[in-house]
Amino acid sequence: MPTIPGSITPISDTEHADEASVRAVERALGRPLREFVEEVAGAVGAVRYAHYLAGRAGDASRLFPTNFLTDSPITFDEAQLHGVAVQIGIAPSIGQLRKQLSDYVNISKRLLIRGHDISAIACWVVRRTGGACSAARVEQIFRLGFERADLEGTTVYGELRAWEAAHAPRRALP
């Protein structure tokens, strides 16, 4: 049984897609699955950031990343994402939304991406390759492969440590 590096739980091929199925998806996408997941999660994250800057106008639940994925072939419909963003009031037009999003080009996608989105997209793809999983299970596997040094290198960890320093003796982390 294959395992994720750093994890202690084996991943059975009956629970998740087998490697051959994932490779077939990558061939169809013309790139590694990781890049596809990052593209989708990054685009949704940028729109969510615009939503935040717009004062959280409209119903953000409509921005769930799998709403913008299609299968046969697997594609990401960024135009649909932008259309929904305009519908919920993030920007008055798609052109203005795209102008606003262009300001985020130099922001690392990893600052815009939510882990829950990565899990949802990965699980969605696994299901399309004949595997069975839940986003919660994918998140569990990711956490098992996440070591303390990885956590300490994150922006949120640094922000929590800065908050602790400013609010001593209160603590947010062990």
Q: What are 67-95's pLDDT values in tens digits?
A: 999 988 899 999 999 999 999 999 999 99
Q: State the virtual CA torsion across 7, 13, 15, 21 in degrees, nearest 10.
A: 110
Q: Are residues 62 and 122 in the same domain?
A: yes
> 40 in a domain, yes or no?
yes
Does residue 5 surpass a pLDDT of 70?
Answer: no
Say if residue 102 is in the same domain as residue 123.
yes
What is the number of domains present in the chain? 2
Q: How confident is the model at residue 40 (pLDDT cuts 50, 70, 90)?
A: very high
Whole-model pTM?
A: 0.72
Residue 145 in this model has a pLDDT that exceeds 50? yes
36 and 70, same structural domain? yes
Using only C-alpha atoms, what is the Rg of the chain? Answer: 18
pLDDT at 39 (0 to 100) = 92
Given a cut of 60, whether residue 140 has pLDDT beyond it is yes
- Based on the domain organization, do 104 and 30 belong to the same domain? yes
Tokens of 163: 């908050």
Based on the fold, state whether residues 151 and 121 are members of the same structural domain.
Answer: no
28 near 21, Cβ under 8 Å? no
| pLDDT beyond 60 at 13 | no
Structural domain including 32 reads 19-133
Is the same domain home to 29 and 113? yes
- pLDDT tens-digit map of 100-126: 999 887 787 778 888 889 888 988 888
Please check whether residue 29 lies inside any domain of the structure: yes
